[in-house]
């Protein structure tokens, strides 16, 4: 397949980057493409972007939602800085159009996977951070995610399953849950299986297309088991 699925002009202009930006191109390069064609993937940029997004959202919560205390703010942030939320942000940017992926991922429409999209969003944020500085990256993240933060702030108690399971576990004096994640299948189409333990006891198992999704699935199953007990 070609260099990119679509010309980068529109996306680059929206981000304030040059269409020829090498950093942006790496941010849009999945590991499956890098394995087939050589060069760098976006994994290191995703690692950096994760921290930038987390800080930018925390800054937004503190400065624009002063009524939220530390605990509630953490719940709001967890509902915004997660795979499903960031994947939706990537979809609004139409990042799938620009991603470089391997033949197997492309054939199976893998560019629509939430895990791949969320990672690409974080990698793009990292590209902005490296080329334009933190302030520019922060403005972009906050403008993109502020509606999600505002929605989460209205009902901060609607925590994600992992947070709810941790709160239950700690309230029972059992400490934080532990997750063990395994994968099966080829790297471009891996299936992840997560086991969640509380105080050394396995509560549930869950599956997903990413480690995060599998952990969320396991936490949700554990919560369902607790409710039925």
Q: Could you tell me the sign of the dihedral formed by the alpha carbons of 207, 209, 215, 221, in that order? A: negative
CA distance 80 to 72: 13
Active site residue 50: yes
Q: What is the Cα–Cα distance from 23 to 177, expressed in whole angstroms? A: 37
If you ran DSSP here, which 8-state letter would residue 190 be given? Answer: -
Roughly what angle, to the nearest 10 degrees, separates helices 134-154 and 114-132?
Answer: 140
Strands (E), the chain: 178-184, 191-198, 201-208
Active site residue 228: no
CA distance 45 to 131: 12
**Catalytic residue, candidates 50, 83, 160, 215:** 50
Choosing from 122, 148, 160, 215, the catalytic residue is 122
Residues tagged active-site: 50, 122
């Amino acid at each position: 397949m070609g260099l990119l699925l679509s010309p980068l002009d529109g996306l680059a202009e929206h981000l304030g980057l040059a269409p020829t930006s090498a950093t942006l191109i790496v941010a849009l390069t999945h590991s499956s493409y890098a394995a087939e064609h050589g060069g760098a993937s976006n994994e290191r940029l995703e690692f950096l972007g994760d921290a930038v997004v987390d800080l930018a959202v925390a800054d937004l919560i503190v400065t624009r939602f002063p009524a939220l205390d530390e605990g509630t703010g953490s719940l709001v942030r967890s509902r915004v800085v997660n795979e499903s939320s960031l994947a939706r942000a990537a979809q609004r940017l139409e990042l799938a159009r620009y991603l470089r992926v391997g033949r197997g991922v492309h054939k199976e429409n893998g560019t629509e996977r939430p895990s791949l999209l969320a990672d690409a969003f974080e990698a793009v944020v990292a590209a902005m951070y490296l080329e334009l500085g933190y302030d520019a990256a922060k403005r972009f993240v906050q403008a993109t995610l502020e509606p999600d933060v505002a929605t989460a702030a209205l009902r901060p108690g609607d925590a994600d399953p992992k947070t709810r399971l941790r709160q239950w576990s700690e309230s029972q004096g059992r400490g934080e849950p532990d997750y063990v994640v395994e994968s099966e299948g080829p790297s471009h189409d891996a299936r992840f299986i997560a086991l969640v333990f509380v105080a050394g006891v396995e509560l549930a198992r869950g599956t997903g297309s990413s480690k995060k999704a599998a952990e969320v699935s396991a936490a949700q199953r554990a919560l369902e088991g607790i409710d039925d007990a």
